[in-house]
Amino acid sequence: MTEARTGTNTGPNAEATRKNVLIVSAHPDPRSLTASLTSFAEEELKAAGHRVRVSDLYAMKWRSGLDADDFPELGGDRLLVQDVQGRATREGSLAADIAAEQEKVRWADAVILQYPLWWFSVPAVMKGWIDRVFTFGWAYGAEHPPPYSEGALAGRRALVSVTVGAREGAFSDRGIHGRLSDVLYPVQHGLFWFSGMAPLEPFALFDANEMSDEEGEQAKRAYAERLKGLFTDAPVPFRRLDEDYDHDMRLLPGREAPGASGTDLHLR
């Protein structure tokens, strides 16, 4: 199976189709479903001819708290985070672990965030990775308005692969938790879109705590299909700030689709 897949990428166009993928994974147990999906994605992508790097945040003992240690040249100055991040980014004086992760993101053509949904958000260690790595002056803060489609992260594809303990119905339009697309909006729009990346529709596994071995294999097959489209699937069609919003970042009148409300207002 692996040889057959690898063989499809040995022709003259192999280098053109070979991409770099960074998987950022967050779960404290290496036997977890999150860890299993991370390994599975790494194997599938490599079998398809891509280059893959993995940042296993718990295994790396990633320090999640942003503080003065991130900025060795800070001295006794106040920690005004945006200003200090911008200066350290410009001067190349960020902490070594931050600089190393930024290099991985810069290397990648696509970034996959693999994590369990904890309290309707990413685990704290992944939030810390976002806070510390996506610095002002690098991930955002260019002279033109967001999304920063000419910035350091422009052109990269981004995929959320998330495991959810609740049943799928709980995250529907009439579900008790609301739609999963709304729960993931801070990552999909607030992180990916805002920084100029192209977010794809998330891959989600529901009822993950009760998943049987057979269901787990079915889930991996479904994930394999999504991974095949990592570089070809259409991104989520979020609107452009410079075309659809006023100076106060409010959607211009008449732009919404009939009946649209909530976060759907911000889809073309």
What pLDDT, on a 0 to 100 scale, did the predictor assign at position 111? 98
Domain shared by 153 and 205, yes or no: yes
The reported pTM is 0.89
For the chain, give the percent of residues with pLDDT over 70. Answer: 91
Domain shared by 67 and 117, yes or no: yes
Q: Which of 114, 70, 146, 76 is nearest to 220 (CA)?
A: 114
- pLDDT tens across 5-40, in order? 334 455 445 565 899 999 999 999 999 999 999 999
Going by their DSSP bridges, the two strands 157-163 and 203-205 should be labelled as parallel
For the chain, the domain total comes to 2
Domain shared by 130 and 252, yes or no: no
User: Where do the DSSP E strands lie in 128-241?
Assistant: 157-163, 198-199, 203-205
Least confident of 69-78, 87-96, 125-134, 153-162: 69-78
140 Cβ contact partners less than 8 Å away, ≥ 6 residues apart: 134, 146, 148, 151, 194, 195
Query: At CA 16, angle to CA 233 and CA 221, rounded to 5?
Result: 40
Domain shared by 111 and 187, yes or no: yes
What pLDDT, on a 0 to 100 scale, did the predictor assign at position 177? 93
The partner residues of 206 in beta bridges, in order of sequence, read none
Q: Are 89 and 136 in contact (CB under 8 A)?
A: yes
Q: Are 27 and 34 in contact (CB under 8 A)?
A: yes
Domain shared by 69 and 194, yes or no: yes
CATH number at residue 82: 3.40.50.360
Domain shared by 165 and 267, yes or no: no
Backbone angles phi, psi at 107, to 5 degrees: -70, -30
| 8-state DSSP, 54 | E
- pLDDT tens across 94-131, in order? 999 999 999 999 999 999 999 999 999 999 999 999 99
Half-sphere exposure of 255 (CA within 13 A, CB side): 17
Position 184 pLDDT exceeds 50: yes
What is the domain extent for residue 140?
Answer: 2-236
Domain shared by 79 and 186, yes or no: yes
Domain shared by 158 and 261, yes or no: no
Distances (CA, A) of 211 to 38, 84, 215, 217: 17, 45, 6, 10
**Sequence-distant contacts of 149-153: CB under 8 A, at least 24 apart:** 149/196, 150/196, 151/195, 151/196, 152/106, 153/105, 153/195, 153/196, 153/197
